[in-house]
Amino acid sequence: MEFRHLRYFIALAEELHFGRAAERLGLTQPPLSVAIQQLEASVGARLFDRDSKGVRLTPAGQAFRASAAALLARAEEACAQAREVQAGEVGRLRLGFVGSTLFNGLSAWLLAFQADHPKVEVIVVELNSQDQIDALLGEELDLGLVHTDRLPPALASQPLYSEPFLACLPAAHPLAALTSIPLSALSEQPFILFSRKGSPDYHARIVEICRQHGFYPRLQHEGRHWLSVVSLVSQGLGVSIVPAAFQQAGIQGAVFRPLTEAIEPSAVFAAWRNDATGVLREGFLATRPPA
């Protein structure tokens, strides 16, 4: 039995006329008659009575009709769902993000994507860059928003945006009175940095920025999230260099000042597995609102 047999059966059951059913199906009568005979042989019951008075469903045909219609409906539903998945209209997107993206339009981005893709389930989880890389490699995430493009060969990336680094100081710190901070002024200060384990590349970049300006930071504390770093600064435990987005976090007791020197900005990248299906990922990236 094939699905075409069911379609032919339903057409004939509704028309009760071989000529009209064949025309509706785009067939001639002989192929339709053969298909109905094949279906009856497969079912093991006569489904139609045919005589000079016309075509009628037998009791077996009447019983078969409801089940045949339900099977066709489920098959059409399955086909429609497959087409929607292929087109990126349904499915599930598991998204990782670093905290700075919350202050760079991630919420508006998610809302725009959900408005365009109401049948897609989006699962978001905040993770540092290294944890996202591990989750992508373990196929636990479909897309990550990370602070590095130094990735394993199994992952690909594209740049999303960049923002300046700022000095982050306790509000009562003497340097907070300056309108901009020379990096050298931080050389003797206790530093609070993003965890080396959480994002080795990011940690190394900030250390390298300091080294290029004549000193190594006196590392006092590490935080696994940038908000933790800013919170520790706000409590007077040290200073830091953080992405500009965190001045929007509203953490009392921390102030932000531009750095006097021009340094390479903080960048955010989208990352994903090279071998991963890309329809939902590409759809999400395409809906990112303009900066």
Please give the DSSP secondary-structure letter assigned to residue 290: P
Please give the DSSP secondary-structure letter assigned to residue 288: P
Mean pLDDT, range 251-280, rounded to an integer? 90
Q: Which residues contact 246 (CB under 8 A, 6 or more apart)?
A: 99, 100, 103, 166, 168, 226, 227, 230, 256
Mean pLDDT, range 146-162, rounded to an integer? 93
Which of the residue ranges 179-183, 201-205, 247-251 would you say has the lowest mean pLDDT? Answer: 201-205
Which of the residue ranges 30-39, 55-64, 74-83, 203-212 would you say has the lowest mean pLDDT? Answer: 74-83
Tell me if 256 is assigned to some domain. Answer: yes
Average pLDDT score over the chain:
87
What is the C-alpha to C-alpha distance for residues 185 and 44, in angstroms, rounded to an integer?
91
Predicted pLDDT at 79:
62
Mean pLDDT, range 267-281, rounded to an integer? 88
What is the C-alpha to C-alpha distance for residues 2 and 287, in angstroms, rounded to an integer?
42
Per-residue pLDDT at 75 exceeds 80: no
Predicted pLDDT at 291:
63
Predicted pLDDT at 63:
81
Percent share of the chain, pLDDT over 70: 95
Q: Interior CA angle at 78 toward 72 and 79, to 5°?
A: 90
Residue 273 and residue 257 share a domain: no
Residue 169 and residue 142 share a domain: no
Predicted pLDDT at 21:
87
Residue 227 and residue 258 share a domain: yes
pLDDT digits (tens, 9 = 90+) for 189-240: 999 998 888 778 888 888 999 999 899 999 988 888 888 899 999 999 999 9
Could you list the residue range(s) of the whole structural domain that residue 36 is in?
3-86
Q: What is the CATH number of the domain that holds 123?
A: 3.40.190.10
Residue 214 and residue 150 share a domain: no
What is the C-alpha to C-alpha distance for residues 266 and 166, in angstroms, rounded to an integer?
10
CA torsion sign for 230, 236, 238, 239 is: positive
Residue 144 and residue 281 share a domain: yes
Residue 172 and residue 240 share a domain: yes
Q: Which residues contact 22 (CB under 8 A, 6 or more apart)?
A: 28, 29, 31, 32
Q: Residue 278: helix, strand or coil by DSSP?
A: coil
Q: What is the CATH number of the domain that holds 19?
A: 1.10.10.10
Number of domains the chain contains: 3
Q: Which of 18, 4, 17, 26 is nearest to 72 (CA)?
A: 4
Residue 111 and residue 95 share a domain: yes
Residue 116 and residue 77 share a domain: no
Indicate the burial class of 53 (C-beta count within 10 angstroms; 0-12, 13-18, 19 or more). exposed
pTM across the whole model? 0.69
Predicted pLDDT at 89:
62
Residue 149 and residue 277 share a domain: yes
Residue 118 and residue 199 share a domain: no
